[in-house]
Structure 1
Amino acid sequence: MPDPTTRDRMVTTAMQLFRREGYPATSWRRLIEAAGTPWGSAYHHFPGGKEELGVAAIELGSQIVQKTVRRAFEKHERTEDAIRWWFGKAAQSLAEDDYRGGCPLATITLEMAHASDKLTEAARQAFASWHELLVKNLQSHEDPEDLAIAIMNNLEGALLLSRIHRSPDALNRAAEHVVAIIQR
């Protein structure tokens, strides 16, 4: 695999910092230092400034989640097993990040929905794409639209609770709650 480009490193680093520390708290200086990129690269790659970088970070986070969802449903025939695997991967990732991470969109969305139309629209599109992907994979179930919302709501809430309790328990329980909904 080739070395990531300067732009790629900046976007990946931004996604991680925005998720862990928040969008307003992440300065250009902090981002450049953490990414290990030259100072001039910030405005070269993101002439629209931090907001443009934020949109790119949201898009990357969305791609990562979509890849995980696709993998969950490709690896497992039963929806219940796909959900358990996906929520388990989320718990594993959160623990590996010392409970500082979580959803790659949650922090930036919560912080900036009132302040940036561009970031809000990027987040709206990201969540809509997750919903659409879930609906596509849930066609064999009654009311796949509603089930997709239930899955997303359970995952997002459980990520938050697991993060603040520094435990995978909420994610494990949420997975079983979703499985119970599926098996009704």
Structure 2
Amino acid sequence: MSRQQIVTGAADMIRRRGLNATSIREVAKHAGTPLGSTYHYFPGGKGQLATEAVQWASDTVRTVLAAKLRKGPAEGVRAFFTMWRQVVIESGFQAGCPVLAVSIEVNSEALDAAAEAFRIWTTQLADALKEAGVAEDPARRLARLVVTSAEGAVAMCRAQRSIEPLDDVAAELTALLEAATAART
């Protein structure tokens, strides 16, 4: 069992159950690893593991965005929403974003990692918008709108057991970004 498998297992549990409802013991069981291995790899305990799980989720999204944003902001946003759509549907509306799950917990050691993840995603989108000709302030605001809207839409999908909120937000934001970039070219 690798360290990475434990981290991805923790991210999966956090996105399904939240941070407080996820224990090291349950992560070890979920990842199919001996409990001692988790403490070997993560001597800082649950806080260290949660931080690394959030960083892994952040890097995963950052990689998807980086690949798709090369084709333009709208394409990047489509990929961002497609990724979340897949997560929600494939989990039977049980999983959301581990970054958001950590963000709403009180006194989480991983909160700084969550804030950094949101900053990274927002900056990536804002940079793509600026490259497409959108001024800095509107680009930053639009990027933040995309990230916060996606997170909220995923939460609504889970609560309502419907993908419609995510699809609606994706369609509206994609159109908004296409209009913003078309107006600048």
TM range (shorter): 0.7 to 0.9
TM superposition outliers: structure 1 runs of 4+ over 4 Å: none
Q: Find the partner of 2:112 among 121, 130, 150.
A: 121
8 Å Cα contact 2:89/2:163 also seen in 1: yes
Aligned equivalents of 1:119 and 1:148: distance in 2?
23
Q: Give the RMSD, CA atoms, in angstroms.
A: 1.6
Aligned equivalents of 2:51 and 2:150: distance in 1?
22
| 1:20 and 2:16 are equivalent in the alignment | yes
- Match of residue 101 from structure 2: 107
For normalisation by structure 1, the TM-score amounts to 0.87
* Percentage of matched positions with identical amino acids: 31
Question: Following TM superposition, by how much is the alpha carbon of 1:89 offset from its aligned partner in structure 2, in angstroms?
Answer: 2.7
8 Å Cα contact 1:6/1:41 also seen in 2: no
1:102 maps to a residue whose letter is G
8 Å Cα contact 2:24/2:45 also seen in 1: no
Question: Following TM superposition, by how much is the alpha carbon of 1:39 offset from its aligned partner in structure 2, in angstroms?
Answer: 1.9
- Match of residue 26 from structure 2: 30
Q: Find the partner of 1:62 among 55, 58, 66.
A: 58
Aligned equivalents of 1:9 and 1:17: distance in 2?
12
| 1:167 and 2:145 are equivalent in the alignment | no
Gaps of 5+ in 2: 181-185
Question: Following TM superposition, by how much is the alpha carbon of 1:60 offset from its aligned partner in structure 2, in angstroms?
Answer: 0.3
8 Å Cα contact 1:62/1:104 also seen in 2: no
Gaps of 5+ in 1: none
Question: Following TM superposition, by how much is the alpha carbon of 1:56 offset from its aligned partner in structure 2, in angstroms?
Answer: 0.4
2:58 maps to a residue whose letter is S
1:26 maps to a residue whose letter is T
8 Å Cα contact 2:54/2:99 also seen in 1: yes
